[in-house]
Every structure is written in C-alpha cells, then in structure tokens.
Amino acid sequence: MRVFNERGYEGTSMEVLAQRLGITKSAIYYHVSGKDELLRLSVDRALDALFAVVEEEASTTGRAIDRLEHVVRRSIEVLVAELPFVTLLLRVRGNTRVERQALARRREFDLVVSDLVEQAEAEGSIRPDVDPALTTRLLFGMVNSIIEWYRPSRGLRAEQVADAVTKIAFDGLRTGSRKPA
Amino acid sequence: MRVFNERGYEGTSMEVLAQRLGITKSAIYYHVSGKDELLRLSVDRALDALFAVVEEEASTTGRAIDRLEHVVRRSIEVLVAELPFVTLLLRVRGNTRVERQALARRREFDLVVSDLVEQAEAEGSIRPDVDPALTTRLLFGMVNSIIEWYRPSRGLRAEQVADAVTKIAFDGLRTGSRKPA
C-alpha cells in the first residue's frame, strides 16, 4: 500500500513491489494473481471496515441524527486505523474493473449516509434547507480530507479529530438558534 | 491543465502536451522553458486568485467571523472558476522546486485563514473549544473536496455550494445554542 500511495497504482510495477518487499515476483504471484488483486484486497479492506460501521447497532437504531453522527465518528476511526488502505481507496479513479467496483461500493456507502441525512431532516433534527446529497458530499469531503494531513506519529488521536469534525459540522447541522426550524 | 490532471504531472511528457495541443514541441518551448514553467504558471494562477481573495476589503475589515466567512465563500468561487488550476494545485506533492514553492504558498494561505479563526475566537464569535489549525484544515478540507465531484455542466452554481458549506460549517462555528460560550 505504501508503494502504491507513493508512486500511484498505475506507476507501480510488480517488479518494484517485489524489490520493496525483498522477495521475488514469483513469490508474490504464489499468493495473488497480480497487481489488480492486490488493489482489490486493499480497497476491500477499507470498504469492508466502512460497511461494518453502518451495520453497527448505533448506526441502525435510535434517532437518525445520532446514527449519522455515529457513522461519521466511526468512519474517522476507520480512516485513521486503516490510513494507507483508505488513502488508496480515495485515490481510485475508475480506470480498471477493480477500481470501478470500488467506486460503486463507495457510492453505495454514500447512499446509506445520504439516506440518514434525509431521515434526520424528516425527523426534524437537521435543518431542512440543505440538500441531503450535497450535505453528504461536503460532510465526507471534510472527513476524507483527513488523509491529506493526518500522521499517526504526531500524537493526535482519532477521537480528537472526530470531536472537531462533529463540533464543526454537527452543531451546524443540528437545528438550533440561527437555523430555520 | 486537463492533460496534467488526467495523467498526473509526472506522467505527462512535452510530447503528449504538443500532440494534444496540435502543435510542435518547439512551438511550446518558444513560450515556456519547459513542463516546470507550465506547472508554475498554472499553480500560480490558482494561488494568485486565492491571495487576491484574502486582500479584498471584506477579508480585511469588520469582524473576524465575517471576514472568515467571506474568505471561505470567495475561495469556493475561485475553486469553481479556476477548477483545473486549483485541482492541479491541490494535487501537488512537493517533488520539484516549483511544487515545493506552491506548497509553501498554500501553507501561507492556511496561516492567514488559521489567524482569522484565532481572531474570531478572541472576539468571541467562534466557539472557543476548537483548535484554529485543525479547524482550518477541516474547513478547507470540506472546501477543497469540491474539486472531487464538482462539474460545471451539472448546473450547480458556486453560490449554492458556498451557501451549503457556510450553513454546515458556520452555523457550527458560530457561538449559539448547544455551544459553550
């Protein structure tokens, strides 16, 4: 994953991967069919973790606003725990079948979140004057931007980042003063 | 810019640029010294537009919270108006001197914003329990994520996107109910 993220997936050959791992190419081919399968395993690891989040009890029971906040917080934890895998996932552009499948699963995840935003609007816990799809994009735009600067070595915990995101975005999303009822 | 964004700057040769422009390489070299200068002209176009924003009257006079909101709104307008140039700027990774200069100017811009967040906290118009540097990163993470999905052809105006961002982030950033005084 590190090599893919440094050089880009397209720019990385099996030769380079073998060198970096200190093994032969045939040793890699013993385990996987090729670069494509390595990419699939990696982006699936990130996607499986994100889909596990939306199946957690706190994501499926209770008020939609609380479920949405739970999904956002836990997505940030996944992003930090699986940083190189999520980074690779977010850089996928759809050039191969594996990449297109990953993009399709990302869209599916976005739909789950967008549906939560709609439900939260319906229950009256989110301001009604924001578009659910646009809100989902901007909210996860903020969440996903964490890959650009987060470095575990700097001692900032996932929880602190999640606190900051929910303070900024949710006190804005929740109905309250300054916001239409 | 389109070719750089499609193939990546590293992956684009002058040969490819000449083909795409339908002119010879020497015709390009008549105007610029090379790929590096093209990159510099492009990222400077984006950076100059962003720095012009922070020098506008509404960015320099009045309450810090209003100046911050103005900078966010106008940055979104610049991003939409100069989409391929800002996209290229945001993908720069610091591999060459031109790229490092661009990153240095981005950091300078971030500092201006981060300073506005601090001033807004000091004047009491932003909740005091968010870190200015982290807030700047997340706020511009949301703003910059727009390059990932915004397509002018879909009819969504910059103003509508700016409205959504300020509704989500600013009603959260402004002191009010649910937030500590």
Closest A-chain CA to B176: A177
Identify the pLDDT of residue B84. Answer: 92
Which range has the worst mean pLDDT, A130-134, A168-172, B143-147?
A: A168-172
Q: What's the mean pLDDT in A88-104?
A: 91
What are the pLDDT digits (tens) for A59-77? 999 999 999 999 999 999 9
Contact A130 B172 (CB under 8 A): no
Half-sphere exposure of A41 (CA within 13 A, CB side): 10
**For residue A28, is it within any domain?**
no
CA distance A160 to chain B (A): 10
Structure confidence at residue A160 (pLDDT): 93
Token code pair at residue A130 = 């924001």
The answer on pLDDT for A156 being more than 60 is yes
Question: With 60 as the cut, is the pLDDT of residue B44 above it?
Answer: yes
CB-CB: which of A156, A164, A179 is closest to B130? A164
Q: Residue A8: inside a domain, yes or no?
A: no
Q: How many angstroms from the chain centroid is the CA of residue A110?
A: 10
Q: In this structure, what are the phi and psi dihedrals at residue A174, rounded to the nearest 5 degrees?
A: -65, 140
Band of residue A107 on the pLDDT scale cut at 50, 70, 90? very high
- Whether A20 is in a domain gets the answer no
Chain B residues touching A170 at Cβ < 8 A: 172
Average pLDDT, chain A: 89
- The reported pLDDT for the residue numbered B177 is 47
Burial of B42-62, coded b for 16+ CB within 10 Å and e otherwise, reads: bbbbbbebbeebbeeeebeee
Average pLDDT estimate for B34-49: 94
Closest CA in chain B for residue A128 = B167
Helix (H) or strand (E) holding B44: helix B35-55
Q: Is residue B133 part of a domain?
A: yes
B4 is a domain residue: no
Do A58 and A66 contact (CB within 8 A), yes or no? Answer: yes
- Give DSSP secondary structure letters for A77-136: HHHHHTHHHHHHHHH--S-SHHHHHHHHHHHHHHHHHHHHHHHHHHTTSB-TTS-HHHHH
Range of the domain at A143: 34-173
Number of domains forming the structure of chain A:
1
Tens of pLDDT along B117-176? 999 988 888 888 888 889 999 999 999 999 999 988 888 899 999 999 998 998 743 333
B178 with A176: Cβ contact below 8 A: yes
Q: How far is B34 from chain A (nearest CA, A)?
A: 22
Contact B168 A130 (CB under 8 A): yes
Confidence of residue B37 (pLDDT cuts 50, 70, 90): very high
The two tokens of residue A159 are 């929880």
* Confidence at A181, pLDDT banded by 50, 70, 90: very low
User: At B180, is the pLDDT very low, low, confident or very high (cuts 50, 70, 90)?
Assistant: very low
Share of chain A above pLDDT 70, in %: 94
Residue at A13 is within a domain:
no
The pLDDT of residue A39 is above 70 = yes
pLDDT value of position A178: 52
Interface contact flag, B144 A142, Cβ < 8 Å: no
**Which range is least confidently modeled, A32-41, A46-55, A147-156, B171-180?**
B171-180
> Is A19 inside any structural domain?
no
Chain B partners of A171 at a C-beta cutoff of 8 Å? 127, 171-172, 176, 178-179
B110 found inside a domain: yes
Q: Do B142 and A141 touch (CB under 8 A)?
A: yes
Q: Note the pLDDT of residue A172.
A: 45
Q: The domain that contains B131 carries what CATH number?
A: 1.10.357.10
pLDDT at A108 over 80: yes
* B172–A177 CB contact, under 8 Å: no
pLDDT recorded at residue B176 = 39
Min Cα separation B20/chain A (Å): 20
Contact A174 B178 (CB under 8 A): yes
Pick from B8, B130, B164: which is nearest to A167 by CB?
B130
Mean pLDDT of B54-77: 95
What percent of chain B clears pLDDT 90, i.e. is strictly above it? 65
* Residue B67 to chain A, least CA–CA distance (Å): 18
Model pLDDT, residue A171: 79
Minimal Cα–Cα distance from B162 to chain A, Å?
Answer: 11
Cross-chain CB nearest to B172 (options A8, A141, A172): A172
pLDDT at A157: 93
**Contact criterion met (CB < 8 Å) for A167 and B141:** no
- Asked if B173 lies within 8 A of A172 by C-beta distance, the reply is yes
CA atoms within 13 A of residue B130's CA, in its CB half-sphere: 36
Q: Looking at residue A52, what is its pLDDT?
A: 97
